[in-house]
Structure 1
Amino acid sequence: MATQGFVPAAASSATAPFVTAKSGDGGRVAWVTLVTGDRALVRGSGTRADVVVDPAPRFGVTQFQQFSRGGDRYVLPGDAAGLVRAGVLDLELFNVTGLVRQGYDDAHSASVPLLVQYTKGRAAAGASKSAGATVRRLLPGVALMALDEKKATASQFWTQTLTVAGDGAAGSTGSGARRLSNGIGRVWLNGKVWANLDQSVPQVGAPAAWSRGLTGAGITVAVLDTGVDTDHPDLVGRVGPTKDFSGKGNVEDGNGHGTHVASTVGGVGAASQGAYKGVAPGARLAVGKVLDDTGFGTFDSVIAGMQWAAAESGAKVVNMSLGAGRSDGTDPVSVAVNELTRQHGTLFVISAGNSGVDEAVSSPAVADEALAVASVSKSDRLSDFSSRGPRIGDGALKPDVAAPGEDIVAARPANIPPLGEPVGDGYQRLNGTSMAAPHVAGAAALLAQQHPDWTAGRLKAALMSTAAEVTEVSPYAVGAGRVDVARATSQPVTALGSVSTYLPWPNQGVVKRQTLTWRNTGTAPVTLALAARLTRRDGEPAPVGLLSLAADTVTIPAGSDASVQVTITAQDKTAAGQYFGVLTARSSNGTVSTRTALSVYQEEEKYELTVNLIDRDGNAPTSSFALLVDLDRVENNHLVAHGEKIRVPRGRYALHGNISTHRDGQEPTVSLISHPELQLDRDAVQTLDARVGKPMSITTDNLAARGGEHSVGMVSKISDCSCTYSMYAELDARFGAVFAATVPGTSSTSFLFLQSRQAYEPRLELFAQTAQPFEVPALWVNESPPAGRGALPVVYGGAGTPEDLAKIDARGKLVLFQVPEGIAWEEILLRTAAIKDAGGEMAMVTLADPALAGLAGGENPMTDPALPTMVGVGPTVQRFVDVVKAESTQASYVSTPVPNLRYELAYGAEHQLNTDQVHQPKTRDLFAVRAAYHDNAVNAVHSVAAVPGFAETIGGGISWFLPVHAGRERTEYFTPGTWEMFEQAGPSNIAIERLRFEAGRYYDIAWNKAVAGPSLRGVVENVSNRPLAWRKDDAIDVILPMFADSAGRPRMPWTAVGDSGSISLYRNGQHAGTVPVPDTAVFEVPDAVADYRLVAEADRKVEWWPLSTKVTAVWTFRSSAADDGNALPMLTARFDPAVDLQNRAPVGGDFSFPVYVERQDKETVDVTAFTVDVSYDDGRTWRPAIVRAVRDHWKISVNHTATGFVSLRAKATDAEGNTVEQTVLRAYEIGGTAGRRGAF
């Protein structure tokens, strides 16, 4: 499992300022484009985030899984599942909440950052020449290439460059199975990295080593961090080679983290008269700036710095006070640590991380060869923030050692704000494992000076074995103990290696033996008494007999080695679990002492499950899979292929199978077969047989609405996290067939079945007019395809080459041509141009690779084909090709690029599924929604989607976003029930409303209607399960939707690319802080009651947003810590003028419209004063509008004497003294004719 991003591992500073300000999480609403080209709308964070998937174009069945792991939510497409399962494609590429957290959502990144391991030079060359990606960096030392995959062409890059059509690899689904392109060995997310003394230096024993003449002289220590202040007195003359990997152009530290770390390693203490001297003041420092001045970097920048440090800088030791998310050690940076250590003998000392929880040691500290460092206080107590082990995946012991990381005083750069508490003129106090690691790196330099011939492994072993005990703390938190370089450099005996034993189930009575060795470099033999102690992670002692020693003493001859055998004997199953401890070896006088870390994992009760899959013809499918889901433990889920055996802990499981069945000349069927709750208490075989599947379909009585996607899903609710695992299949309702069922006789309260259908006119209908006409699945390639209907003779044009075209008469015909795998899209465009030159009317290309359907529908931003061009793939298309080759054929087509109809239909079942689910609702029985789509641009195309309300219980679903012409009204139909409605108008600019529909009733809804402005109530979609603006502990925490529409629907994400602005807070008239974003902020404030003024300003100057170009709001209210958890009493004014579908009001005469004064914490508000001013010159001059109260709102009157734009300014006060003043420049336009529907 790969990691999620790197951090300088610094925890909070020792003291906090009076008030601090930072941007908030923004409600976690974001579009995320995946490496496959699929998009996910992510709302919320963590395992219960709501995710709606908008799939990339594919032929045949589109399949997805949604699940939770490690506190995040994942969306895994079926055509990537096999590659993830094979371990060659990073699962973190599909961690949608993790991608948002790292800033890789679409609002913040136009590309998907990848790290590609290449095995052949031509793979690197091919990827680097692709139009779909930009090479960020080549890392030949570790055979990696950093690529930025352009999101606009992600589907194309995925199918043409990164992968090719597979061969039914286990774990991938249907015709979409993929394999990595030749020469590509593995693909990871290029994740983010971010940055994770006077008592502390003596604490690790440095002065004693100095007294022996050891200062690190002659040793180079590389510091990979945010750079250094090269002019700091403590570092002048100590810095050797430097190199920037952050893009800044130099290594000067604009953050402060790197300078602090570097001076802890080797600062001379000149600015403090030696008080804050580093551990190895004689060492030379090589500085690699791998993190930018904000403290962030990427995997590739860190790996590049590591490669330079190990191969070019001359460093014997490398300090990396940075980290990413937890990892099992297979992420690219951890792999690079191991590889570079083996290549160059470099010791990498790496901070463990600052999560403060178990099983959370971060990458790359989890690497086998890394010396991972935890943090302790100056009294040798475990720091609360220090990340604990063991390593996820295999339970290996990490971290390896500990060192002081609390209240560490070290150098601070001049002329930048301090990260922590300033100490004197040139220092600051910081906390974190970032501060602990450089103590160990300095200690390693002292030891390396003493033993210049020692390898990295020998240095690591010596520092671990001579560590001091950290009392009352398990080794899984501090490893062997706190580093003691005084002992490491003085005693002649070192313990080599450690004990890490795995006892797989069944294991009672199983015996494993391991030999431990001690090395004596002294001139006299040394006898040591041995004692071992193991405890569970909960502190309980290990059962007697689990670990024993062959001897209770060992004598190591001078200049030689001696060994003792350790025996591990598995006990009964009640002893299952992980044990950690230390083997101590002490001389009688205590002058020699070593510590060896111990780790034993007696596996819990596990059983083998064999999974068999059978298709509807009774055969074993070649490219189908099952998802095994632990119903009680969130982390335990597995993709399983037909015939595969898998060992899992005893417990309750669901097994969901996705089985494809081939059909000659037709699209394959898909069958979702589930055992909803399998009790696994012995070895078992479970068969999922597609032949028990029941037909699934949804159709309407409107024959024109025969197009659209049909989606089915199996869902399991997980008790451990109140979250769900789901598996979906989606296909064009016109082709293929869907079957589903639970295994006969089974049921579970954890099981849900969902079925939905979007029905509309097909965007393209193509029929082969043969003796038995049949429909051919095809998509337009053109971004703006023709609309209408027609019929053409069809001719087969071979591969579309000039030689093939010379053999046919293309004039006035549809030319059908086939291209083999590996043909670049640019070449296909050239062939369509040749068809046009030959007189062809239309073209259709058929592809060897089904996933190249991603090139259709405007997904390819390069030049459109020279003539209307379709694309098709699959068995039905091959049947069409065969017919055209064999006989003269006509084809008819109907093209509706933007459908006019819309039906959203959904049904579900619980516990079990054993009957047909064939639904044929009549239009009159559905709920009718009269929808109006507003937009200032006459020809704008919006997109819409809907998710049935019961999908809320499963964390989202699949929904295609359908195009709709703006500036029009239409009636849309829904099955009764609750729906979440999505409407996107402009890039990443989406509005959401949850509605409940009842059969036979109508509902009016207006999307994207002016006036856009602040809304904290209205129709607010808030996934944070908290008020948008609230008092939380000692913070004013606000999310400010500044561009909500006239109904109060915020557009999400709260801001769009190109937005600018700020939020400022004033407390009792004093400025408390400002953040440079207009949508979210968190201000830490004192507990006492105070008067607050919150000022927000948002500017949106982009071509697609001509109205509400500048929105400001000033709120006043009172708050104290007593209001914890409550919404702030903030008012807003919501304007709702009767504008036309272009958001224009009529010109001439008086114009009146309602205004609603709302307060987020109350249904009604007692307004004591309300005024509105109007401006016709973009706010340069203002005049009062006529305002009068009307029942639950206010009505204002203005005068429209000329065309132009109207700006509005409202001021309101309520009975409690809360106020708001909000201003919207260019609120709406004058110049239209508002109709009757305009005000709804």
Structure 2
Amino acid sequence: MHRKKSKLLISFLAIVLLLSTFSMGAFANTSQNATELRTAELFGEIDLASSARTTFIVELEAESMVEAKQKGKSQSKAKLASERGKVVADLQNKVKNAKVNREYDHVFSGFSVELPANKVTEVLTIPGVKAVYPNVEYTVDALEVDPEVFNPNMLESAPFIGSDQAWDAGFTGDGVTVAVIDTGTDYTHPDLAHAFGDYKGWDFVDNDHDPQETPPGDPRGGSTNHGTHVAGTVAANGAIKGVAPDATLLAYRVLGPGGSGSTENVVAGIERAVQDGADVMNLSLGNSLNNPDWATSIALDWAMAEGVVAVTSNGNSGPNNWTVGSPGTSRDAISVGATRLPYNVYTSEISTSEGIEYPSAKVMGFPSDDELLKLNEGEFELVYAGLGAAADFEGKDFTGKIALISRGEFAFVDKATNAKNAGAVGAIIFNNVAGEHADVPGMAVPTIKTTLDDGQRLLAELEAGNHTVSFDIVFDKEVGETMADFSSRGPVTFTWMIKPDVSAPGVNITSTIPTHNPDDPHGYGAFQGTSMSAPHVAGAAALILEAHPTWGVDHVKAALMNTAEDVIDPATGKVYPHNSQGAGSIRVLDAIQSDTLVTSGSHSFGKFVKDTGNQVERQSFTIKNLSDESKHYSFDVEFAGNPEGIKVMTSNNLKIQNGNTQQVNFNVLVNTAKLDPGYYEGTIKVNDGSSTIDVPTILFVGEPDYPRVTGAFLGKEDDHYDVGSYLPGGAEVLAYDMYEFDAVNGAIGAPIGTIGEFANVPAPIHEFTWNGQVNGEVLPNGDYVLAVYVKQAGVEEYKAYLITKE
């Protein structure tokens, strides 16, 4: 083996990937002292060199109540408690100061435990332990809109997905309970109070029955409002109206001060919501771990199996592939991406005196197209209004005029509103710093923006006595619904599933928030993120369940996916990839009125890795005919570009009687010799003679382009060190090289030697013992760079991690 080093800056976070990777290279002094271990699985990045007390989630081999039920096995809480007790007793014998915090038995079997991080490997050897997960931080998936951009008139997203049409059809979420697992909820907000009964939910942060948001002044962190915003999107019914305004809400506070929390509380919240009888649950939270077998993802899968529609945000780490994180990686839960609502684009020119140009002039925002275009009708008097505060308009006549306003101090929309209240028919807002400021949909008056330089020119015109301005505003184009760049993309590692499943509006979403101001405690705010998209889908699920109370979770999910509309990328004019938008943007009334359900709503054929010849994979889906008559279904499968080498074989047509369900089998034959390695996506088209349902599908030729190594660790035991790495796809060849650490430059130093080489290593984790020696000599304690070389399916990676040998 030859692995060359290249200079590399090192992150000073413990056990974290470096900012770039090594190229192939350099030496192979293989250790003779490496012995592989067989243990329970250990997930995540853990600093095994640390003695700091750390919380972990332990999953047991004994099945949870729901898992056993779904598998037709006998299980009881008493029996599960006994099995758990044995593991806990063994653990406390091995680690004397281990402290068990929470115990789980309903949708997840295990417990959370606090112990020194360098003792976690002791847990892996205990009989009955299936896996150990770090108690990772979960944060809200929301990006607060700049206060200058906030507009209380933005609430167009619920009607956009068809909620108002569903209300007109008689479906408002009545009788359906939605659990909001989040930062808590201000259940006293006048738009939300109707949705809560005497039992509000549970607070897992403070362990009491009051799941309110975190107020200001908590020494543990900042105040929160995220869960209230999410709850309003689901079920507000007041000044604003959520998707399911008559739904019942339950709040579970699992994210505390500052809007962050941990796995142990999130899993506990999922368990409690299922046991409390929720019909739908919303989790607008996430982490960056792309793994379907994470504690939260597992809990959501079993919640779905128990009949609770679980909806979760896909994450805000886009736009690259593989950025979806748990619990969005769940096999069964509905993961949601974020879109931006459609908008019109106009060009704008402004004129004052001859020869003076304002090249930066652009349309910033407007209440309607008609009001904007009225600015083309003649000349207007221009009047300076300073910062646009209400006081800046006093004593001046703005009726029928244009207000010239400087950016600064407070929100753009307030400036425009003050201009409207003073009688102005439009506004020009110039920047107070270099550069361009944001567009703001829905301003109270048509508003043009300029740079600071052009603003100074306008002020100079006024000082010179030139007080008139005219406009030339021209329609440029309409931009339809688009995917938000921040929305995380799939696929999911190991399962290679498409994620998100569907998308919904998530940009500039206005909803309820607590102000934490005793004099005016209830307000509204605009946030954006997949956190805002998920509750649109949770609310839609509530409407569907009211309309179809006997539907199972798979029917609800299929209805949303089968009726979703394609989202078009304006940059290309083509449909966004499946792993950007899922099946598309939801349309709730169409979902309610479905007369055919195709489940699953998307398919992954996985990977085809034969070097030559054909490989066949078999799949199936079910079709449920909900109509009043028998239907004939035909099938077609199209892969983008119609690549030679992919053939799908299925029935030409199928007759299904009304009310019946039938399974459809199909085979996919891939000749890898005729295809370049890579990602291929297609669409299964199911046609009943009058309409077509598009089912997204993907496959990979060769090993997918997921990261081959995602972390490494080194931890001290009594007489040896545990060394390992995280390998999503395993490794045909795996090697660990040690380098000196150049602390002055934060870079890799001189090579020291190879401490372990292995072959045919299975996923997802590898671990071995090391005696602390390199080439027969003990390596002194200190900071080093541990570089991990992986070769898998023709792809090589070499990544480095800063570690400490103690």
TM-score of Structure 1 vs Structure 2, range by shorter chain: 0.5 to 0.7
Q: CA 1:511 to 1:228, structure 2 compared with 1: closer, same or farther past 3 Å?
A: same
Query: CA distance change for structure 1 residues 425 and 218 in 2, over 3 Å: closer, same or farther?
Result: closer
How far 1:959 moved relative to its partner? 4.8
Identical-residue share of aligned pairs (%): 27
Amino acid at match of 1:309: A
Question: Compared with structure 1, are the counterparts of its residues 485 and 694 closer, same or farther at alpha carbon in structure 2 (3 Å cutoff)?
Answer: closer
- Cα distance, 1:128–1:301 mapped onto 2, change above 3 Å: farther
Q: Which of residues 204, 218, 233 is equivalent to 1:245?
A: 204
- 1:653-691 C-alpha deviation (Å, 9 max, x unpaired): 76879xxxxxxxxxxxxx98789999x9xxxxxxxxx9x
Which residue is 2:605 aligned to? 501
Which structure is higher in RCO with an 8 Å CA cutoff and minimum separation 6?
2
8 Å Cα contact 2:34-2:756 kept in structure 1: no
- What code does the residue aligned with 1:245 have? F
- Give 1:92 shift: 2.1
**CA offset digits 1:340-379 (Å, max 9, x no partner):** 332x221210000000121011101111111111111113
Q: Which of residues 66, 87, 98 in structure 2 aligns to 1:133?
A: 98
In the other structure, the counterpart of 1:481 is 584
CA 1:723–1:393 in 2, change beyond 3 Å: closer, same or farther? Answer: closer
| 1:446 aligned partner | 543
Equivalent in the alignment of 2:529: 432
- C-alpha deviations, 1:1135-1158, integer Å up to 9, x for none? xxxxxxxxxxxxxxxxxxxxxxxx
Question: CA, structure 1 residues 486+710, in 2 after alignment: closer, same or farther (shift >3 Å)?
Answer: closer
Matched residue, 1:299: 263
Cα separation, partners in 2 of 1:133 and 1:205, compared to 1, 3 Å: same
- Which residue does 1:261 correspond to in 2? 230
TM-score by length of 2: 0.61
Deviation at 1:115, TM superposition (A): 1.0
Task: Provide the residue aligned with 1:465 in structure 2.
Answer: 562
Contact 1:480/1:582 (<8 A) preserved: no
CA distance 1:427–1:509, shift in 2 (3 Å): same
Closer, same or farther: CA 221–386 of 1 in aligned 2, 3 Å: same
Matched, 1:363 2:326: yes
Q: 1:385 to 1:327 in 2, by over 3 A?
A: same
For the pair 1:519 / 2:624, whether they are aligned, the reply is: yes
Is it true that 1:557 corresponds to 2:516 in the alignment?
A: no
Could you give the per-residue CA deviations for residues 820-867 of structure 1, whole angstroms, max 9, x where no partner exists? xxxxxxxxxxxxxxxxxxxxxxxxxxxxxxxxxxxxxxxxxxxxxxxx
| Greater strand content | 1
**Equivalent-residue separation in structure 2 for 1:583 and 1:216 (angstroms):** 32
- Secondary structure of the 1:375 match is strand
Per the alignment, residue 1072 of structure 1 pairs with: none
Counterpart Cα distance in 2 of 1:581 and 1:602? 14
Alignment of 1:488-887 (within 5 A): 488-497=591-600, 498-502=602-606, 503-506=608-611, 508-527=613-632, 530-535=635-640, 541-550=641-650, 554-562=654-662, 564-573=664-673, 574-587=675-688, 589=690, 592-604=691-703, 647=732, 696-697=776-777
For residues 704 and 507 of structure 2, the distance between their equivalents in structure 1, rounded to whole angstroms, comes to: 41
Tell me, yes or no, if the aligned pair for 1:365 and 1:399 is still in contact at 8 Å. Answer: yes
CA contact (8 A) 2:754 2:774 kept: no
Structure 1 residues 251 and 585, CA gap change in structure 2 (3 angstroms): same
Contact in 1 for aligned 2:284/2:535 (Cα 8 Å): yes
Q: How far did residue 555 of structure 1 move?
A: 4.5
Q: Which amino acid aligns with 2:646?
A: L
Change (3 A) 1:230 1:637: closer
Q: In 1, distance between residues paired with 2:101 and 2:188? A: 31
Deviations 1:555-585 (CA, angstroms, capped at 9, x unpaired): 4432223555433111233333222233233
Does the CA-based 8 Å contact 1:244-1:289 persist in structure 2?
yes
1:510 alignment partner, SS class: strand
Cross-structure match for 1:287: 251
* Cα displacement (A) at 1:191: 0.9
Deviation at 1:95?
Answer: 8.6
- 1:202 lines up with 2:159 in the alignment: yes
Q: Secondary structure at the match of 1:338?
A: helix
For the 8 Å contact 1:47–1:723, the answer to whether it is kept is: no
Alpha-carbon distance in structure 2 between the residues aligned to 1:496 and 1:320? 23
Distance in structure 2 (CA, Å) of the matches to 1:675 and 1:128: 32
> Separation in 2 of the partners of 1:78 and 1:126?
33
Which amino acid is the alignment partner of residue 132 of structure 1?
Answer: N
Q: CA 1:519–1:140 in structure 2 vs 1: closer, same or farther (change >3 Å)?
A: closer
Please say if residues 335 and 502 of structure 2, whose CA atoms lie closer than 8 Å, have aligned partners that are also in contact.
yes
Deviation at 1:708, TM superposition (A): 7.0
SS at match of 2:249: strand
TM-score by length of 1: 0.41
1:521, 1:559 within 8 Å by CA — same for their partners in 2?
A: yes
In 1, the alpha carbon distance for the partners of 2:503 and 2:22 equals 32
State whether residues 312 and 334 of structure 2, in contact with CA within 8 Å, keep that contact through their aligned partners in structure 1. Answer: yes
The CA distance in 1 between the partners of 2:138 and 2:292, in whole Å, is 15
Instruction: Indicate how the Cα distance of structure 1 residues 181 and 577 shifts in structure 2: closer, same or farther if over 3 A, else same.
Output: same
* Equivalent position of 2:494 in the other structure: 393
Aligned counterpart in structure 2 of residue 404 of structure 1, from 505, 526, 540: 505
1:867-946 equivalent positions in 2, closer than 5 A = none
Deviation for aligned residue 1:478: 1.4
1:291 Cα shift?
0.7
Separation of aligned partners in 1, 2:795 and 2:611: 29
Q: Which runs of 5+ in 1 are unaligned?
A: 1-26, 33-41, 50-66, 70-76, 97-104, 164-178, 536-540, 607-622, 629-633, 639-645, 658-670, 681-689, 699-706, 727-954, 961-1240
**1: CA distance, partners of 2:32 / 2:588:** 53
Distance in structure 1 (CA, Å) of the matches to 2:288 and 2:785: 31
What's the offset of the Cα at 1:721? 13
CA contact (8 A) 2:313 2:530 kept: yes
User: Which structure has the larger Rg?
Assistant: 1
Of 568-577 and 224-233, deviating more is: 568-577
SS in 1 for 2:111: strand
1:517 aligned partner, one-letter code: T
Amino acid at match of 1:479: G
Quickly say closer, same or farther: Cα 1:392–1:81, change in 2 above 3 A: farther
Offset, 1:710:
12
**Cα offsets for 1:905-936 (capped at 9, x unmatched):** xxxxxxxxxxxxxxxxxxxxxxxxxxxxxxxx
* SS in structure 2 at match of 1:412: strand
Secondary structure of residue in 1 paired with 2:114: strand
Q: What do residues 1206-1238 of structure 1 show as CA deviations (whole Å, max 9, x unaligned)?
A: xxxxxxxxxxxxxxxxxxxxxxxxxxxxxxxxx
| Match status 1:233 vs 2:190 | yes
Structure 1 letter corresponding to 2:129: I
Instruction: Give the corresponding residue for 2:18.
Output: 47
Matched-pair contact (CA < 8 Å) for 2:290–2:492:
yes
1:363 counterpart SS class: coil
Moved >6 Å (runs of 4+) = 77-81, 623-628, 634-637, 671-678, 707-714, 716-723
1:85-119 CA distance string (max 9 Å, x none): 755222422499xxxxxxxx88xxx5211112245
Partner-residue secondary structure (3-state), 1:440: helix
> CA separation in 1, counterparts of 2:587 and 2:543?
11
In structure 2, distance between residues paired with 1:294 and 1:710: 35
The whole-number CA distance in structure 2 between the counterparts of 1:520 and 1:282 is 30
Structure 1 equivalent of residue 55 of structure 2:
113
Does residue 131 of structure 2 align to residue 186 of structure 1? yes
State how far apart, in whole Å, the 2-side matches of 1:438 and 1:95 are: 38
Q: Which structure 2 residue ranges, 5 or more long, are not aligned? A: 1-9, 24-30, 63-82, 142-153, 215-223, 343-480, 569-574, 706-719, 739-751, 761-769
How big is the shift at 1:469? Answer: 1.7
Deviation at 1:548, TM superposition (A): 3.0
